[in-house]
Structure 1
Amino acid sequence: MRIFPIGFIIILTTSVVLLMGWQLSLNDTFTLNLTSLLQPNWLSNNSIKLHLTWWPRVFTTLICGAALAVAGVLMQQVLRNPLASPTTLGVASGASFSLMMATLYAPWLIELSYSFVAMAGGLIAMGIVFALSWRRALSPTIVVISGLILNLYFGAFSTVLLIMNQEKLAGLMIWGAGSLVQTGWGNVAYLTPRIIALIIVAFLFVKPLTLLQLSESGAKSLGVSLTKLRIICLGVAVLLTSLVVATVGIIGFIGLAAPAITRLIGVHRLLPKFLASIFIGALLLTLTDLVIQQLPDLMSIMVPTGAATAALGAPLMLWLLPKLAMRSQTHTETVLTRHSEQGRHLSKYTIWIALGSVFIGLFIFSCLSIGNQGWSWIFTTGNWSVLEWRLPRLIAAILAGAMLATAGTIIQRLSGNPMASPEVIGISSGTALGVIVTLFSGLSSSLAGMYVGGFIGALSSVSLIILLNRKTGFQPEKVLLTGVAITALMGAIQTIVLAGGDPRSYQLLAWLAGTTYYVTNSTLIPLAIATAISLSIAFTCHRWLDILPLGETSARSLGVNVSRSRMLLLFLVSGLTVSATLVVGPLSFIGLMAPHLARLLGFSRAKEHLIASILVGSTLMLFSDWLGRQLLYPEDIPTGMVASIIGGLYLMWGLRKL
């Protein structure tokens, strides 16, 4: 390794050692506190506290950080995606969902073994992902998409359960954010031998994993069994993640941040990357936890370490991003984003039929609904006043679905990354962060005030993306990593807010899940204007969207100014996302799913892909908004949650075509 990576690790190590030394010198003498690790004074409360809580917590953070870092390196290497992380396969969300279900419907399982329930949920999630991608020999693209679908499903159901059972699941929110509070050496004794054994297994596969940097045909010609290698390596990564999640909760960002930081500081060979990631993951998690322990009163317990790690690690990633080496876009090109000459043609007749179907759906869903007396048809009841609040919600759902689908199509074609979506580039997260700060800082609780706060947050995200990427020509991988860091920061703050138990947090949760509840006629007109302008601009840029996925060199040879076109498309995606997010919340999965669904229907050329994505996104949102108000009447399920469930069903069915 070069000087800078070693120096960076030394700085992290020094920071951890100094903070540990300072905490050990607060009560009694430093020597006595240090000896409490092995020989505690059972007559001293401070010595007992250090021996049974502080020291186990330090060792737990070191072990868990190293485990998650190794899991992250394995997943990014096997899936060949810089955004892959231990949460990619749905392990963390599966564990969280299984605990929610057990808490509500089988509490005896929690009493039997809390860790077993969480680990079982994680392993079941892994099994589902493997089952969905088995026919394609665990192809990286199929595994990534399967994991994303599973995450959406577990997230959707978990959010519905949380909204409907706020008090029962309040404590689980703290665990779900990663709480490292210890009451003895039991977790250390349980984790250490298992994690060390799995890390040794991971190191045994360094050489064949290195060959994965070649093409699949190249790796096979050298005698590598890709299916077996993927099963073993992904299995090791999932087991590492499951052990950590079952013991201390969800601390997923370390698995993404440690390999990313390792790559950003200039470590690219696999063996040094493993070693550097282990040190960085362990030290970053420990440093964060030591800082949390210095918070006053109950804040040190209530602020979850997993969320705080993202809050501290995200700015660190942003600081290191200027060092990211340039890569050709063809390195991240996938079957989901590659141009195809055999794409299906979308005729004008088909477009008009699809648009007519959307309007017919709008008419039916605005007139048909369930109420206190059962199903009712507005023509028979004559209650025309309900249209005043039904129509704005349904129309807003259509417009928001169209804008988010367009934004998702552009960013996936621009980046060549199947995991890209409006949320991943950080615009939705910036908007949500602005709303959170406005609401909980007391600046404003009105709808207009939240809109202003969200717009400022979105502008801040766009400015940060432009500032960090302008000099490198808006290189796709770097833009995505910038967005991931911003998203992680927003997610951390959101998790801390939800774990705090503030009643306003559940109103915020419904908005974040994608509800159209707050839409009125006054917000609908600006949304319609923004939609018309943005979509018109998007269709004028369709030539760029056909050329840019071919790679930077090919695009320049065809006369495209790559840096300028990328910047303009990024601005367009920002405008589309901001307009939709401010009205209906960050429905990023529409931007993720609609382009995939359109491609599964056979549309790969940019213009047809855009039209099909818009129609799919609009229809999905329209039906989801109506269905969310009928399923559990009078409860209102957020539109985003329903859309993720419906769209995910078709995605899973369509994976066989990829």
Structure 2
Amino acid sequence: MTLTLPSPRRVTAREHTAPTAQHALVLLGALTLVAGLGAIHLTQGNAAHLTFDVLVASRIPRLLAAILVGLALGAAGTTMQALARNPLASPDTLAVNAGAKLGLTVTAACGLHLGLWFDTATAFFGGLAAAGLVLMLAGRTGSPVRLVLAGSALTLGLMAIASALILVASEETQGLFAWGAGTLSQPGLDAVIQLAPLILLTLTGLIVRGDLLDLLQLGDDTARALGVHIGRTRIAFTIAAVMLAACAVTIAGPVGFLGLCSPPIARWIARRLRYPIRMPWQLSLAALTGALLLLGADVLLRAVLGAQAAVEIPSGVVTTLMGGLALLILGRSMRSGTVGDSPAAIAGRGWPSRHPVVAIVAALAALLVTATLALLPGELPLLLGDVANWLQAQASSRITWILDARFARVVVSLAAGAALALAGALVQAVTRNPLADPGLLGVSGGAGVGALMVITSTGTGSLILSFGALTGATVSAALLFLLAARSGWDPTRLVLAGLGLNAASGALTTFLIVSTDPWNKTRAVTWLGGSSYGAQLDRAVPVLVALGAATFIAVMLHRRLDLIQLDAVTPAVVGAKPKHTRAVVLVVAVVLTAAATSAIGVISFVGLAAPHASRMLLGGRHRVHLPLTAILGALLVVFADAVARTVLSPIQLPVGIVCALVGLPFFAWLLHRMRVSS
């Protein structure tokens, strides 16, 4: 596979002799912009509201936090990209921010308030462990997209654990939701004053020794021949980059994608000015660019929404939107590539059964048993005899009320799981992308944004909620497939475009939640994590209708799907009408995703895990593969919902959290199994 992304170019002899006056001029210009934007940041708003106390207690700490966090993340992102030789590396894509956030959430949930330096150390070790896991999953020679996928999957899992802790220890972790999106609001000057020396000292060390990163760009053998100790150098720079990211998370929370956006912008500025792309200067310029971006995001929030709203809305919302745009741009700049084997090839490495009917019947039996057992546990445990009496209308009124509620939850979970799994299988087939999943590609996120607009404005009626989710999913899918069609349905570009849309959906989701009233906020957060709590049977009606229509279409098109998943040439040669089939199937997948999301919230990994499990059991023939996929998806979500409402009873976890924790190991195993070359 040939994969080309924007990356730092080699340093020429002429650039090594570039005059230092040019260096100073560009950096002085960037510093001047930071100072000017800082002045705007301080003086924005109404003179009547800008008192001395407000200036000292709020504006100055917020300004210093923006500058320090921007400097730290800009330099951290540049260092990580240089070390990984990967322009997609950053504290977000390597899950450093997610690991740091989880570490701080754990300490908060445990009531460990031991001071700022303890929090910084916790964030550092959490981020370092997460980065190590991502690099292990992606492999040193893994493609840039594989690294982003590994980081995105691990981020989902770590965020799921953090969300569970926030729900379980709601009092101890109060206020962590807005902080988790990256907020510059500061209780005072303590954090920035204490961490400023560490950030500036680490940044200075990176700049002074940046020449070693230049040598690493030449390749390990060349760098070793020039006297660089590869192992020690990589470890030292990794520790420095993670330390900067940990300090940033401690001050402002995980500010999204600032470390991804700053380095390419700095490189673009340098190229436009014919500025030498050497690491010491690139680090300096990227750090200042990060400060400019974060200051600009905060100034923009205050200018558009007003001072009060800007305090409540995390600045990370704006930087995450920028990160989504950056992923879209990077995806378009790629010339060619694939993310791995086709679904058909992966199916060939499984253990396909010679008796598909037996496998499907066995899966149905397992689903029936699981659904029945899911009716028993809860705050009031029941027995099978209670279920038998309920089925015969002979149970007491209390038992009847409990089983009616649990039965509705089981039906909604079953329908939503089947819909998400079927949607994932259809998308994987027509895009020939084994990692395609409505959750990872942003379709579920778009449906979530549409449904949240309904929840935060009108209510949660099933029909209007379904309409909102369908609208959001349609808009997100239209953008995704438009970008994919323009790139010839290149699997790698599709993944990057989907991850960019997913980031943008996450930013809009955070904006909607933090800007609504507390009552709607609680409902939105509960629903967003994927929840069947309080579900009525009418929630399942749109999903069942979508499943019925999808089943009919799948029966009609299963032979075409078998051909399309093979390659780009065969379907057209035999008259399978690949464009028409692809359009119809993608519309069906969008409808399935929207219906499932409106019923149970945003759930990830179901559309990835169930299709692959089915292929390994029955192979890639869609006549038997799609029914088993739907059954396995239903089984997974029913099981996850039962675990979510019983494992910490009476506390009920969102089912999406459990699915993420179950799906993450499967995703990691799948990445390990695939043979990805760059």
Q: TM-score, normalising length from structure 2?
A: 0.75
Is 1:255 the equivalent of 2:259? yes
Shift of 1:105: 1.7
Contact 1:76 1:85 in 2 (8 A): no
* Closer, same or farther: CA 60–361 of 1 in aligned 2, 3 Å: same
List runs of 5+ in structure 2 lacking aligned partners. 1-5, 8-26
**Partner Cα distance (1:586, 1:22) in 2:** 39
**Which aligned pairs between 1:254-273 and structure 2 lie closer than 5 A?**
254-258=258-262
* Closer, same or farther: CA 404–45 of 1 in aligned 2, 3 Å: closer
Contact 2:440 2:502 in 1 (8 A): yes
Amino acid at match of 2:352: H
* Closer, same or farther: CA 627–494 of 1 in aligned 2, 3 Å: same
Is 1:174 the equivalent of 2:178? yes
Is 1:287 the equivalent of 2:296? yes
Partner of 1:37: none
Amino acid at match of 2:461: S
- Which of 641, 644, 647 is residue 628 of structure 1 equivalent to? 644
What SS does the corresponding residue of 1:298 show, helix, strand or coil?
A: helix
**Partner Cα distance (2:605, 2:405) in 1:** 25
Shift of 1:399: 2.7
**Partner Cα distance (1:233, 1:439) in 2:** 46
Q: TM-score, normalising length from structure 1?
A: 0.77
**Partner Cα distance (1:123, 1:313) in 2:** 22
Contact 2:95 2:131 in 1 (8 A): yes
- Which of 135, 152, 158 is residue 154 of structure 1 equivalent to? 158
Is 1:542 the equivalent of 2:561? yes
**Partner Cα distance (1:560, 1:202) in 2:** 55
Is 1:97 the equivalent of 2:102? yes
- Which of 331, 342, 351 is residue 344 of structure 1 equivalent to? 351
Amino acid at match of 1:495: T
Contact 1:590 1:617 in 2 (8 A): yes
Shift of 1:457: 1.9
What SS does the corresponding residue of 1:190 show, helix, strand or coil?
A: helix
**Partner Cα distance (2:214, 2:433) in 1:** 25
Contact 1:430 1:487 in 2 (8 A): yes
Partner of 1:454: 469
Contact 2:261 2:322 in 1 (8 A): no
**Partner Cα distance (2:452, 2:268) in 1:** 30
Partner of 1:333: 340
Is 1:422 the equivalent of 2:446? no
**Partner Cα distance (2:619, 2:239) in 1:** 33
Amino acid at match of 1:625: D
Is 1:594 the equivalent of 2:613? no
Partner of 2:480: 465
Aligned length: 622
**Partner Cα distance (2:637, 2:357) in 1:** 23
Shift of 1:527: 1.6
What SS does the corresponding residue of 1:301 show, helix, strand or coil?
A: helix
Contact 1:75 1:85 in 2 (8 A): no
**Which aligned pairs between 1:87-486 and structure 2 lie closer than 5 A?**
87-110=92-115, 113-128=118-133, 133=137, 147-148=151-152, 150-181=154-185, 183=189, 184-198=192-206, 204-205=212-213, 238-258=242-262, 275=282, 281-294=290-303, 296-311=306-321, 314=324, 324-325=332-333, 327-330=335-338, 332-333=339-340, 339=346, 341-347=348-354, 348-362=356-370, 364-365=372-373, 367-372=375-380, 377-379=385-387, 382=390, 383=395, 385=400, 386-412=402-428, 420-440=436-456, 442-486=457-501
What SS does the corresponding residue of 2:177 show, helix, strand or coil?
A: helix
Shift of 1:587: 0.8
**Partner Cα distance (1:377, 1:110) in 2:** 55
Contact 1:596 1:651 in 2 (8 A): no
**RMSD of equivalent CA atoms:** 5.0
**Partner Cα distance (1:169, 1:303) in 2:** 18
Is 1:495 the equivalent of 2:520? no
**Partner Cα distance (1:640, 1:285) in 2:** 31
List runs of 5+ in structure 1 lacking aligned partners. 3-8, 30-42, 213-218
Contact 2:327 2:499 in 1 (8 A): no
**Partner Cα distance (1:405, 1:298) in 2:** 43
**Partner Cα distance (1:554, 1:225) in 2:** 51
Shift of 1:505: 1.5
What SS does the corresponding residue of 2:530 show, helix, strand or coil?
A: coil
